[in-house]
Amino acid sequence: MISQVIRLLPDSVANQIAAGEVVQRPASVVKELVENSIDAFAKSIKIYVKDAGKTLIQVVDDGIGMSEVDARMAFERHATSKISSADDLFAISTFGFRGEALASIASVAQVEMITRREEDEVGTRVDIHGSKFIKQESLVCAKGTTISVKNLFFNIPARRRFLKSDAIEFRHIVDEFIRVALSHPEVSFLLVHNQSEVYNLTATTLKQRIVHLFGKNISTDLLDVSVDTSIVSIQGFIGKPESAKKKNNYQFLFVNNRYFRHPFLYRVILNAYGNLLLPETTPSYFIYFSCDPKFIDVNIHPTKTEIKFEDERAVAQILEATVRQTLGNTNILPNIEFNNESAITLPFNDEKKMIKPPSIKINPDYNPFEPKQKTVQWKNFFEPEHIVEKREQVQIAESLSVESEKQANDIIQLHQRFLLVTVKSGLMVIDQHRAHFRVLYEMLINKYELGSIATERLIFPEILELDQKQFLFIKDLLPHLQRLGFAIQMTDEKKLIIEEIPSFWSDYQLATVFENFFNQYEELEKLPDASSLDFLLIPLAKSIAVKNGKPLNEEERQRLFDELFATSNPQYAPDGKLIFYIIPVNEFEKKF
């Protein structure tokens, strides 16, 4: 069999390709493999992950597959079926185009590929471990390609150690998954982590895909955007201004069905909303640009997702006008005047001002979901066994970087409520309760997603009596409660019989937390984008978070600080309240 499809990339092109590493973490592998599946016209893509991808990442597709020769060649550096000249680099609309992903992945993992084209009777299997060809053999298999990447960085222990906790690495995988799932609603996707199904998305419309990913509440918050010009066409959805929120994280731009980041266009969108937004809130948006690929400068750095439009100003103006028009068309804002000044001075989403975390110390080997940890009570959250061993300097916004490597003792507790940390630009003041609230909330989400919550059977089931509203509320949330580790019976007389609870819960009053669910539910309902899970997690995390007034020892302070800055949003608690602020040095100088 002769390869018809794959060509070797000429050196001239290879040299144009920015150097860099394709594989930084398990999520990069997921991204590259899934993009390849999409390029291979797969209609169904299944992703199986073990231990956040550290042990296994397996992507199963039903795409066009590869011939025996191509299967072997796919692992050669600069082997690609997608490019044959330098010009192609700028006209490419498929995801991958460097011909180095598989080669790079196979150089740092044990890779096994099984593939078959429709027209071939038998398929082929290729095993490559750390760039070393192990074997190739024929076998009977389904049409399409299955690539299993095992023991990532097995041959580079330093990089393996550098990986973050499973929770964090898995969150990166989910981020990549969501981006690609949003780019291709016509493809069905399955994501399974450690045997539990995280997402199972059927092929559908874009709007339904968004709903499947983010919950049905979001659909009523979205407005259609649609415009077609000679330069670019824009389709998608933007959130109603009143549904904008502080901790909004549903902001996506795509070009020719590829996710990209573009801080300037983010600002253009915010500007188009103008004063329809409450201060410091951002709307959701899912905006899809299509244009001739030759008008886009694809940054060919292996991991960057940034691109440049040839006529960035024109694109920005079209985008701004479209968003304004959409908001106007729906009578949210009648008679909007086109405003040519771009509000680059908006206080939010301004990269210069964006808060980035100070240096973070993380124990890369710490895995909160390991069985041995399961018995750890949450009230003992600050146990010495958690002492962070390893430090990692994360390069961050200059003004915020912590002055020097922190030693435990460095963090002062003030009035048993505030943690004080010196940072380059001044003094950081952290509210301990809100900080812990954020940390626990994210840990709960992770545990929930992973379905890894240890449970405990109550010897005497606890019985709570409910009114109709409460009964319906719990009924709606029952699946979430079960996944959180509660086993609950609901009787016709509107009684809740709680038979099993999550083990971390055993020392907290059940009645109180259920009361909190009900008490806070109306308040949370006002948050337009709180997910139904948030109705449980926010009160749950809040009620077990360390209270103000509790003395924390050195290790506890250090650990809380470290954990806070390992969360996705260290600045705000899940209920939107500020966690920390920085008193600038010049405020002190003024006093003297």
Q: In the complex with ligand ADP, which residue's Cβ is closer, 102 or 255?
A: 102
Which DSSP symbol is given to 271?
H
Contact segment (CB under 6 A) with ligand ADP among 35-43, 365-373, 504-512, 562-570 equals: 35-43
Q: Which one of ligand ADP, Mg ion, none interacts with residue 79, CB within 5 to 8 A by kind?
A: ligand ADP
Query: Residue 88: what are its φ and ψ, rounded to 5°?
Result: -60, -30
The dihedral region occupied by 549, where left means phi > 0, alpha psi between -120 and 50, and beta the remainder, is left
517 touches ligand ADP by CB under 6 A: no
DSSP code per residue over 420-485: EEEETTEEEEEEHHHHHHHHHHHHHHHHHHHT---EEEEEEEEEEE--HHHHHHHHHHHHHHHHTT
Q: Which one of ligand ADP, Mg ion, none interacts with residue 6, CB within 5 to 8 A by kind?
A: ligand ADP
* Residue of the chain from 28, 58, 67, 81 that contacts ligand ADP (CB under 6 A): 81
Nearest to 60 by CA among 191, 178, 153, 167: 191
549-568 binders of ligand ADP (CB under 6 A): none
Nearest to 331 by CA among 240, 260, 433: 240
Question: How many residues of this chain interact with ligand ADP, rule: CB under 6 A?
Answer: 25
- Whole-number Å distance between alpha carbons of 414 and 551: 9
411 touches ligand ADP by CB under 6 A: no
CB of 11 to ligand ADP, least distance (A): 16
Which single residue brings its beta carbon nearest to Mg ion? 96
- Whole-number Å distance between alpha carbons of 484 and 455: 9
- Whole-number Å distance between alpha carbons of 260 and 306: 5
501 touches ligand ADP by CB under 6 A: no
Nearest to 254 by CA among 231, 232, 286: 286
- Whole-number Å distance between alpha carbons of 524 and 467: 19
Q: Which one of Mg ion, ligand ADP, none interacts with residue 97, CB within 5 to 8 A by kind?
A: ligand ADP
CB of 194 to ligand ADP, least distance (A): 23
CB of 291 to ligand ADP, least distance (A): 21
Which residues make Cβ contacts (< 8 Å) with residue 358, sequence separation at least 6? Answer: 396, 400, 401, 402, 421, 423, 428, 565
Cross-sheet strand order for the sheet of 258-260? 222-228, 233-239, 285-290, 251-255, 258-260
Contact segment (CB under 6 A) with ligand ADP among 31-39, 252-260, 471-479, 505-513 equals: 31-39
- Interface positions with Mg ion (CB under 5 A): 36, 96, 101
CB of 68 to ligand ADP, least distance (A): 13
* Residue of the chain from 17, 27, 29, 32 that contacts ligand ADP (CB under 6 A): 32
CB of 192 to Mg ion, least distance (A): 22
Kindly state the tokens that stand for 556.
Answer: 């506890």
Q: In the complex with ligand ADP, which residue's Cβ is closer, 91 or 490?
A: 91
Contact segment (CB under 6 A) with ligand ADP among 92-100, 260-268, 307-315, 561-569 equals: 92-100
Q: Which one of ligand ADP, Mg ion, none interacts with residue 282, CB within 5 to 8 A by kind?
A: none
CB of 73 to ligand ADP, least distance (A): 8
Contact segment (CB under 6 A) with ligand ADP among 75-83, 341-349, 386-394, 423-431 equals: 75-83
Binding mask 98-137 for ligand ADP (x = CB under 6 A): xxxxxx----------------------------------
Q: Which one of Mg ion, ligand ADP, none interacts with residue 575, CB within 5 to 8 A by kind?
A: none
Nearest to 217 by CA among 478, 476, 575, 531: 531
Number of other residues whose CB lies within 10 A of the CB of residue 576: 13
Q: Which one of ligand ADP, Mg ion, none interacts with residue 245, CB within 5 to 8 A by kind?
A: none
Place of tokens 């429709």: 118
- Whole-number Å distance between alpha carbons of 506 and 377: 8
Residues that bind ligand ADP (CB under 6 A): 5-6, 32, 36-37, 40, 61, 63-66, 74, 79-82, 96-103, 145
